[in-house]
Structure 1
Amino acid sequence: MAPGIFSATRSVHMIVRQLFIRLVFSLQFESSLSMEIISFWMWLEGIGHADFLASIDALDNHDLRSIALAAKMLIETLRRNSGHQPNHRSVQGGYFCIEALKGIVLYLNNVCCKVLEDILQVATAKERICHRAHQAQPQQNVMARAPMSTRDLLSRIKASYISARSHEAEGSSSRSIMPSAPKTHTLKDIENPIEQCLSSYPLATLFESLTITEEEEEPAADAIQIQQPPSVPRDERTLFVTFSNGYPFTADELYEFFTRNFGDDVEVISVQEPVAPKPPLYAHITFYNQETLFHILAGRPRVKFVIRGKHLWARKFVPKRKKAQNF
């Protein structure tokens, strides 16, 4: 009997998105593998391990990497075992293997492919660009092989997308950046790494929301490494976050969460001064780099996080003076 999908609420969807972003962008796992791992975790929660996803999301990146690697090894074992079906196999082991594979495929098709469709396009484009850059520069020195900045990465992804679109318009036989129709995964798919989850979300729309500024000149090698004042106005680098009434966050909690998940880029956090007896309802978080804000929002106007059971909504900060100009 095929496993059923547990009640995947909007909160669960947000946790799935958070875990995917952490695995792919922070821990550098492949996007297809990350989806398999998350689907496996969802299956475990669905068979009775309550709040399994939330517990994993509460881990720091070091522990998250460890448990993700353990899940990767288990999934690889399931793949190997799926190809061996002797006449007198272990009933319990065989049942677990089949049910686990069915569960992974089920959550891939019905949750991950739908919830992650927009982020997945950025992730796969990033992987494609990094792969091409690695192939094109095999003899560069160590300094040249340093990880690309987010600004440089976005520039290359956008250039790749524009190039792919132009080739398509010219009737080129090269592959389009997006296949024309979505694929439904089956049990056979899980026996090999899953190529990609497809969607109709327009990648161009996502890029239109990203502002890519000119790269600043690199400092001299012997210069003292200090944080330079950002050239982008603070308002453009600030996130406005709101809390559930009665469930506020402290500045330390916000700093720990955003640093753990999006890097050490927080410049300042300002939490609303509470008016007794009411707790604070919002906060402003300013980052040194505007790209961090883009990374957090992932092309969406508003995102939601679940942090230790408390809900947090985030959007780009819009000053009152700009709001007034729109009327």
Structure 2
Amino acid sequence: MAGSSSHSSATVPVSQEEFNMFHTIDRTLFTRLVFNLGRDPAEATQVMALWLWLEMVGKEIDMVYSKILSLPDALLNALVDESVMALACIESDKFPFADSADNIPLIQNLTKSGASLRFFHDNRTGIIRGVTRIINEVCVRAFEDIVKLAQGNQEILNFPVNFSGPLMNSLLPACYSNPGVDRVHPPHQIGPSEILQGFDPYDLSVQRHILNTEIGEVLSRLKLSAGKEEKEVPPDDRTIFLTFSKGYPISQNELNEFFTMKFGDIVEAIHMQEVLLPAEQPLYARLIVRLASTIGVVLEGKSRAKFSINGKHVWARKFVRKSPIKLPPKSSPPPSQPTSPPANK
């Protein structure tokens, strides 16, 4: 995402063109969400604000946006789904999901943190404050022309955000004046307010200072800046088992090219079945991916998926290593009995 600019005591007015250039990566991602993935602009704005917040509050995840930007559409869409679930948690008084559905693996992998849906719900007050600030003072202005384009160049008097939870309503600024429909005015339409004082959306160093001051307790719990690497996941837990049809051979290069083009840089290694004869066809392969969470995306949440690679069918499922069969110990033969010499007659 955009880097920090030098901060001066006097706030320098920033033109819309400069503002857009500074937020080029944000605008590129927002365009993908709205046009490539077909996401609702209001939902996409909330998601972008959450990602901006995650990047700003973390000191060790400045590359998170370069990672998100490089994700293929399938993984990006899955990340948006996780983010929408996190947003549902911060706008609900009661935890909206079953405890068993607490995991958000893509967000955890990208932030290298232990963040969970339960975390977002437990810390919703501080997170809402930060996300709302970013929506008002960064996202609305940065994405306004893209939203107009998405809505067929219709004039936008208000920017819909659709946060409807009671907690969110209590924290939204006064410009959310339409009862029943929460809307945020673009910053250049908002008069001086307590929220805008001392905040320059062009200076990320100021943004980070303000957010860190307001939600320090949240940061200490999330520990995004702890510098701890995520635990190593064994290759077997990151492996997809692929099977092929006899008579329709598929090469390792074909597999690598297909999965890379479809899902991005997910392939760590591919191990084809070892065959004895050069003319013999491998009937299966093990595809090791870089992140365990990628498996669910490739299989689309199912136990088994089918692909067509250059007209040849490939079936995929999560790899499960079979436990070696333990043979019972061999019983020792009974000791041989000594033979008596024949009796003399």
Using the size of structure 2 for normalisation, the TM-score is 0.37
Using the size of structure 1 for normalisation, the TM-score is 0.39
Larger CA Rg, structure 1 vs 2 = 2
Structure with the larger helix share: 1
